[in-house]
Amino acid sequence: MSKGSLFVISGPSGTGKGTVCAKLLAEDNIFLSISATTRDMRVGEAEGVTYYYTTTEKFEKMIENGEMLEYAVYGGNYYGTPKKAVTDMLDSGKNVILEIEPQGALKVKAQMPEAILIFVVPPSIAELRKRLTERGREDDAEIERRINAAKWEFSQSPKYNYVIVNDDLDTCVKDTLSIIKSANDRQQMIEKLLSEI
Amino acid sequence: MSKGSLFVISGPSGTGKGTVCAKLLAEDNIFLSISATTRDMRVGEAEGVTYYYTTTEKFEKMIENGEMLEYAVYGGNYYGTPKKAVTDMLDSGKNVILEIEPQGALKVKAQMPEAILIFVVPPSIAELRKRLTERGREDDAEIERRINAAKWEFSQSPKYNYVIVNDDLDTCVKDTLSIIKSANDRQQMIEKLLSEI
C-alpha cells in the first residue's frame, strides 16, 4: 500500500474552501486530520476521534518542540494539528486534508515540504464581496478588511502547488479530486521506481 | 501582459530531460535562461546572447551576494545562472526553462519558491539503465553509481511541483506544455483578481 498525501486547502476568507472540504470528505480515503485541544471533553466526544485531549502544559511543550504543524487559541483553549497525527495517517495510506487560512498553510509547507497546498480563489472580487455579504457573519468594515487581506494572500499564491477557482462548486470539487488522484499516482510511481533500485 | 513563469526541469541522469527541454524551446514564448561564465568569448558568440561574460572576481562576488541561482565549475571556469537574468525575462512575460540536476533544482526552489519544479522520471529502472547504456557516455560502474544516486533524487520528489514520466517523448512534452499553460493561466487569474481589489 502506498503512502497517502497531505492536502492543505486554503484561500481568502469567503472563497468557499470549507464547503469544498466538506464535499471532499464524502469521498473514499480522504480524511480530516484530528486536532489536539486543551479544552474539556464534551458528552459524545472521544479521545482520538473528535480530538486528542491534552493539558495546556503538554500542548505548550509540543509547540516548543516543533511538534505542532499549526495552532491557534480560541476562548482560552489551544487547538492545533500535531504533526505525528498527520504522518501516522499518511503512513497508513490515508489522504489527509487540512483546511486552514493562508498564513497557517505556509507554515505547514515550511515544516512539511511534501504537503500539497491548494489555493482556492473566487472567480472575481465582486463575487467574493457578494459571498461575504450574503453569509452575513461580518459587517461591511470587516468585509472590506478581509478583501484587503486577500491582497497579501493572492501575492503568496506562487508558493502554492495549485490554484483552483471556485466558481461552480462541483467543478471545483472535481478539480480538487483530480489533484488528489494525480498525487496518489505520483506517489505510487516513485515507490515503484524506488523498489526497482 | 502577464509575468512569465520559471520552470526547472530536473531528474536523474538518463531520464531524457535534455531532449524534453530541446523540444520545449521550439514552442512560442519558452526560453532558456542565459548563463554567466568566466570563460573567454569565442568566435560567433555575443554578450547577453550566448552568455554573459564576466571575470572570476565578479562571478565570485555574485555568488557571495546570493545573486546566482546556481553555478558550477567546468574546466577551470565558472558557469551559472544569475537570478536577475531570469527575473528580467519573467518580468517581460517570457517563460523561462532551466535544465539542472536535482541538487541544483532544490537550491533554485529555496531562492525562488515561485519556481515550478518538474521532475522527469523514467518509466522503470530497467529502462533507465538501458538508456544510460545506449548513450554510451559512461562505463558500467558509473551507470550503477548514477542509478544509485537516483535513489536520493527520487526521495526528494515530493519537493517538486510535478512528476512526469518520460516513457513516450511526445506525451512527455505535451504534459510539460500543459503544465506551462496552466501556470500561465494561473498567473493571469491572480493578476486579474489583484487588479480588482
pLDDT in tens, B151-172: 999 999 999 999 999 999 999 9
Neighbouring residues of A75: CB distance < 8 A, sequence distance ≥ 6: A39
- What is the pTM assigned to this prediction? 0.88
Does A197 sit within 8 Å of B125, measured CB to CB? yes
B101 falls in which pLDDT band (50, 70, 90)?
confident
Per the DSSP assignment, residues forming a β-bridge with A10 are A119
Spell out which chain B residues touch chain A, with contact meaning CB-CB distance below 8 angstroms.
113-114, 121-122, 124-126, 147-148, 150-151, 154-155, 157-159, 161, 163, 165, 186, 189-190, 192-194, 196-197
Interface test with A, best of B165, B175, B186, B192 (most A CBs within 10 A): B186
CA angle B96, B170, B14 (to 5 degrees): 75
B124 and B14 Cβ atoms separated by less than 8 Å: no
The pLDDT assigned to A98 comes to 95
The chain B residue lying nearest A115, using CA atoms, is: B158
ipTM above 0.90 for this complex: no
B197 and A151 Cβ atoms separated by less than 8 Å: yes
The pLDDT assigned to A164 comes to 96
Identify which of A113, A124, A197 has the shortest CB distance to residue B151.
A197
* DSSP single-letter state for residue B94: -
Alpha-carbon span A100 to A108, nearest angstrom: 10
B137 falls in which pLDDT band (50, 70, 90)?
confident
The domain B1-29+94-197 having CATH identifier 3.40.50.2000: the answer here is no
- The minimum CA-CA distance between B193 and chain A, rounded to whole Å, is 6
A193 and B126 Cβ atoms separated by less than 8 Å: no
**C-alpha cell read off for A19:** 464547503
The pLDDT assigned to B70 comes to 92
CA angle B180, A166, B189 (to 5 degrees): 40
Q: State which residues of chain A have pLDDT below 50.
A: none
Does A159 sit within 8 Å of B121, measured CB to CB? no
Alpha-carbon span A169 to B168, nearest angstrom: 35
Alpha-carbon span B188 to B194, nearest angstrom: 10
Spell out which chain A residues touch chain B, with contact meaning CB-CB distance below 8 angstroms.
113-114, 121-122, 124-126, 147-148, 150-151, 154-155, 157-159, 161, 163, 165, 186, 189-190, 192-194, 196-197
Per the DSSP assignment, residues forming a β-bridge with B7 are B97, B116
Identify which of A151, A163, A193 has the shortest CB distance to residue B194.
A151
> So where are chain B's domains?
1-29+94-197, 34-92
Does B189 sit within 8 Å of A158, measured CB to CB? no
A20 and A166 Cβ atoms separated by less than 8 Å: yes
B34 falls in which pLDDT band (50, 70, 90)?
confident
> What's the distance, CA B191 to chain centroid?
25
Alpha-carbon span B168 to B18, nearest angstrom: 14
Q: Give me the architecture of the B34-92 domain, per CATH.
A: 2-Layer Sandwich (3.30)
| Residue B97 CB neighbours (<10 A) | 21
Residue whose C-alpha cell is 474539556: A40
The pLDDT assigned to B184 comes to 95
The chain A residue lying nearest B179, using CA atoms, is: A162
**C-alpha cell read off for B155:** 526521495
A132 and A146 Cβ atoms separated by less than 8 Å: yes
The pLDDT assigned to B135 comes to 87
- Give B157's contacts in chain A (Cβ within 8 Å): 186, 190
A159 and A51 Cβ atoms separated by less than 8 Å: no
Task: Convert the pLDDT of each residue in A140-176 to its tens digit.
Answer: 999 999 999 999 999 999 999 999 999 999 999 999 9
Per-chain mean pLDDT for chain B: 94
Which of A51, A55, A86, A50 lies closest to A69 in space, CA to CA?
A: A86
- Give A163's contacts in chain B (Cβ within 8 Å): 186, 189-190
Long-range pairs for B129-138: beta carbons < 8 A, 24 or more residues apart = B131/B14, B131/B15, B131/B16, B132/B13, B132/B14, B135/B14
Per the DSSP assignment, residues forming a β-bridge with A68 are A82
| Residue B103 CB neighbours (<10 A) | 13
Alpha-carbon span A27 to A184, nearest angstrom: 14
Residue whose C-alpha cell is 544510460: B132
The pLDDT assigned to A136 comes to 87
- The minimum CA-CA distance between A41 and chain B, rounded to whole Å, is 37
Does B124 sit within 8 Å of A193, measured CB to CB? yes
**C-alpha cell read off for A148:** 484587503
Interface test with B, best of A186, A187, A188, A194 (most B CBs within 10 A): A186
The pLDDT assigned to B163 comes to 95
